[in-house]
């Protein structure tokens, strides 16, 4: 349901979540919800809030997401976005994260259609790989590593976003309206088959796709239709 009456937004400006977080400005929206700049009124700080619709989502999916979010929040790494809190407000599940000022790697790649110089791309990719190693050591698999999910901050410091959200999205169509979670050009083949287990190798495959785009300026696979793209992969 559109609470704001404009553009199908999930939330409206000024909404207070859990009696603590005031939504100040919509930063972006996509298949997996909305991102807002918000004020933490208890700690008097500015944060980012990812709003995920939970209406109609199976209780098991919400419980699993809470567990995975708690694990992700425990990941201590400079290249993983910090999760401060997770809570619900009516039918709204939301994550409270550090507010990042930067540009995602998709925009960076678009600015360099011939690819980034190796001397710049290699440190960026090394940071991502190191962060994934930390997550995998704690049995956390991202499942949706792609350029839009990696922020580049000043000094080419990286931050991986959205740990745990892809698995939650797979449990409900409320987030995407589709059974396919992720961007096919960066998805490992096993992700196209719901019956095939997904593990840390899925993230490594996706990292290879990110590396390809950063170094060449092009996605690893392109096609005119989704079936053709899946066949190429």
How far, in Å, CA of 64 to CA of 71, rounded? Answer: 11
Which of 85, 87, 144, 174 is an active site residue? Answer: 144
Q: Could you say which DSSP state residue 179 is in?
A: S
3-state helix, strand, coil in the chain (%, to 5): 35, 25, 40
User: Residue 81 is encoded by which pair of tokens?
Assistant: 């976005």
Residue 144: active-site member: yes
Using DSSP's 3-state secondary structure scheme, residue 30 falls into strand
**What's the count of helices (H) and strands (E) in the chain, helices before strands?**
6, 9
CB 35 within 8 A of CB 27: yes
Residues with catalytic roles: 144
């Amino acid at each position: 349901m559109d609470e704001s009456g404009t553009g199908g937004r999930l939330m409206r400006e000024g909404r207070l979540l859990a009696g603590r977080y005031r939504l100040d400005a919509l930063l972006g929206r996509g298949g997996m919800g909305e991102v807002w700049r918000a004020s933490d009124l208890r700690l008097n700080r500015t944060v980012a809030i990812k709003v995920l619709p939970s209406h109609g989502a199976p209780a098991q999916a919400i419980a699993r997401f809470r567990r995975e979010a708690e694990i992700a929040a425990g990941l201590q790494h400079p290249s993983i976005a910090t999760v401060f809190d997770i809570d619900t407000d009516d039918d709204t599940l939301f994550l409270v994260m550090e507010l990042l000022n930067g540009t995602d790697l998709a925009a960076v790649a678009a600015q360099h259609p011939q690819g980034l110089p190796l001397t710049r791309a290699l440190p960026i990719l090394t940071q991502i790989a190191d962060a994934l190693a930390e997550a995998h050591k704690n049995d956390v698999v991202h499942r949706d590593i792609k350029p839009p999910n990696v922020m580049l901050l000043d000094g080419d410091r990286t931050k991986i976003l959205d740990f745990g959200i892809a698995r939650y999205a797979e449990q409900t169509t409320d987030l995407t309206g589709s059974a396919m979670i992720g961007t096919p050009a960066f998805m490992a083949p096993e992700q196209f088959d719901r019956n095939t287990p997904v593990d840390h190798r899925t993230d490594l495959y996706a990292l290879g796709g990110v590396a390809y785009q950063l170094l060449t300026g092009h996605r690893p696979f392109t096609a005119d239709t989704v079936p053709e793209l899946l066949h190429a992969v």
